[in-house]
Structure formats: structure tokens, C-alpha cells
Structure 1
Amino acid sequence: MANSPRLTSARDLLTALQQIEPVIKPLPGHEDKVFRCGVCMDECYPGLFIGDIAAAKKKDYLLRVGITHVLNTAQGNKFASVDTDAEFYKDANIKYLGMKLLDVPSANITQFFDSGAQFIDDALSSGGKVLVHCFMGISRSATISCAFLMMKRNMSAVEAIQTIRKNRAIYPNDGFLSQLAEFDNKLRKERGEL
């Protein structure tokens, strides 16, 4: 009897994260320097940047790099949230989408997969560049970006995690890894792979 495909687990995704050491690159727009703190964002897939609060709040820098869309996966005024909105980016003519989401394992990030993936896809399809950010740019933003790669670029969860991890030191919390694994299994069933 042939081996049947097995379900993806959060452990598989954690292993995928641990197998890749991200390459530290210069900050886009500052290719002559490497910054280890301050404004922080990385191009993790063509046109898709993942970053932190400092990158998100520096509109002049975003415009210089060519960012046309911003997806804030940590919108709000609570601890570890980012208090920007569409009005904040209006003068820069940057399209905005905000998600009120805390970086806790119990948060239901799956509810934002469709809208986040569509926003990113719309940005890239129109020739734009999108910054997906949260407070530190390692958990919420990385998870939504993985969902985009899975839904719109037909990657498995492992492939999506590894694609992003090659370019940025990401670490989605355990609850988000579990939700990505469940989502991966759902997509694989829909595609007839399971």
C-alpha cells in the first residue's frame, strides 16, 4: 500500500523555521549600509515587504522605496499595537488595510487570511509594492504573508514559511503556526492533495 500524504502540523512549520538562517541584508533604499536596529523591513517575496512599527511610521522612507500599499496587522492603541489608519497614509497616497489583532496564541488570525491575501495580491497585481507589518514584523505580519503565498501563489505552508524566513527572521507564535498548519491541510484537501 502506498504511503498516503500526511497532514501538516505546527511542528512541521516550526522545523521549517529552524532549518533556515535568514540572510541579513541592507535596508532597502540603503544598500550601502546594514542597519541592525531602527527602521526595519525586508523584501520577502517580489514586491512584498515585511516590517516593524518604525518602518510603518516613516512615510517618507516608504515613498522612497516605492511602497504603494500598507497592511497593518496590529492596528490599535493597545500594547504592541500600531496606531496608524487610512488617514495616516492619505497625504502619501498609500492604500491601507488595518487588522485589529493581538499577538497571542489564542487570537483567531485565520479570519483575516482572505482579506489580507486579497489586499496583497491586489497591490502586487497592480504593479505596486506592499508593506505588511505588525509591531516587530515577526509574527502577525509573517503569518498573513504566509497565508497570501499559500492562497495566491499555491505554496504549501512549509514553502511559504521558508520563502519568508530566507529573507527575514520571522517567528509566528505557536497558535499562529497551528492555524497555518490547519489552513494548509484545508487547502491541500481542496486541491485534492490529501
Structure 2
Amino acid sequence: MSYLSVDCDKAKRILETLTQTRAYHRCLPGYSVGDPEGMNREIAGVDCDEVYNNIFIGDVCAAKNKSYLRRVGITHVLNAAEGSSFGMVNTYTKYYEGTGIKYMGIRLMDLSVADIASHFYPVADFIEAALNEGGKVLVHCLMGISRSATFVLAFLMIKRGMSACEAMAGVRRRRNVHPNDGFIRSLATLDNKLARKNYLY
């Protein structure tokens, strides 16, 4: 069996996990249960969820709302859609000057052909360093569904030893994420590489 067919089988299992895991509506981080803003994201004007301890996935509105970031205690921001063209988020490092927030930007379109895998390890290192400092990380793209979710899933696989399906199920229960098909294939390839590496060692 070729590596390609193995990756395809794994991609199918990841997609099955995604479709079979239900995302539950949760109170917006930074608010208490019962707070109208915390339960209605349209009122709050941001969309964000804590998907793992001190790791948050959010949308462009969460990323640009500095008062909300202070409220949650965000210390690091990873923009998975850095840029000024359609579908991108134009924050950059300068946007967070004076906030104490450490920033990392990745220029990546939400396209199945985009090479997201080349960023997996640098992004995982950025998130891990933030957590080791006792920080809280917001990983965002435009909507907080595909690019940002893929990076968090890759982090959980690389740094926390989860399989792609375990990571997907855990994140999916906390946020309605849906990486595009190309990103799911990239996660499948990463999953198989990590499994082979662990087998060898």
C-alpha cells in the first residue's frame, strides 16, 4: 500500500470524526454563563472559543477587538490569514503595539491547494512557547473555522501527541470548525508521519 493511499484513508477517518462530532454552543470566553453578551455572539460582536487549555480559536472580530483580548487575557496572537486582500486579516505586528501581545502572522489563503503544512512546526513552536510562558494564545483567521483550526489541530498532534482524530474530536466539541479538504489531507499526512516516527522510536 502506498503512502498516498494511507493518507487518503486517514483523511477519510478525520472527515468522519469531524462530521460525527457535535459542536455545542458555549458561553463566550471572558463572560459568565447567563450574561446576554456571553450567550449571544452577535451582541458581543466577537466569535471565540477556548478549544484547549489557554488556546483560543476566533474570528477577525475577536482578533481586532483589543478590549476583548484584554478581558480574556490573551498574550499571544497567531494570525493564520495575514494580508490585506479578500479573505485575509490585516492586523500585522504594528496593530498590537502597546498591548504587550506577541504576534505571529502567516500569509495563507483558505484554499485546498495552499501549503499549510510548511507552517505546522513553526506555528506549533510559537504556541508551545506561549503556553510555557504561562500565556494565552488566540489563533485566528477570517472566520475561525479552517486555517486557524488546522494550525491548532497540528499543534495538538505535534506537541501533545494526539492523533488527528483525537485532536479533531476535542476541538470540534468546543467549536464548529471545518478545515477545507486540502487541509484535512495535510493533517492526514502529518498524522501518518508522526505515527511512523513514533513507531521507529
* Same fold per superposition (TM over 0.5): yes
Deviations 1:59-92 (A, max 9, x none): 1110111000000000001111000111111111
Alignment: residue pair count: 189
Q: Show the counterpart of 1:95.
A: 102
Structure 1 CA distance, aligned partners of 2:153 and 2:20? 17
* Gap runs ≥5 in structure 2: 1-5
Secondary structure at the aligned position of 1:9 is classed as helix
Structure 2 CA distance, aligned partners of 1:85 and 1:50? 18
Alignment partner for residue 125 of structure 1, among 113, 125, 132? 132
Report deviation, 1:133.
Answer: 0.2
**CA root-mean-square deviation:** 1.4
Give the percent of matched residue pairs that are identical in Structure 1 and Structure 2.
49
2:113 pairs with 1:106: yes
Structure 2 CA distance, aligned partners of 1:49 and 1:36? 15
Give the aligned residue type for 1:34: M
Report deviation, 1:36.
Answer: 3.9
Q: Show the counterpart of 2:24.
A: 23
The answer on whether the counterparts of 2:28 and 2:41 sit within 8 Å (CA) in structure 1 is no
Report deviation, 1:44.
Answer: 0.1
Structure 2 CA distance, aligned partners of 1:22 and 1:30? 19
Deviations 1:92-127 (A, max 9, x none): 110000000000000000011011101111111111
Alignment partner for residue 174 of structure 1, among 172, 181, 196? 181
Alignment of 1:1-194 (within 5 A): 9-31=10-32, 32=35, 33-37=38-42, 38-192=45-199
Secondary structure at the aligned position of 1:29 is classed as coil
Give the aligned residue type for 2:199: G
Structure 2 CA distance, aligned partners of 1:46 and 1:60? 21
Name the one with the larger helix percent: 2
Give the aligned residue type for 2:30: G
* Gap runs ≥5 in structure 1: 1-5
Secondary structure at the aligned position of 2:175 is classed as coil
Secondary structure at the aligned position of 2:178 is classed as coil
Structure 1 CA distance, aligned partners of 2:57 and 2:10? 24
Secondary structure at the aligned position of 1:155 is classed as coil
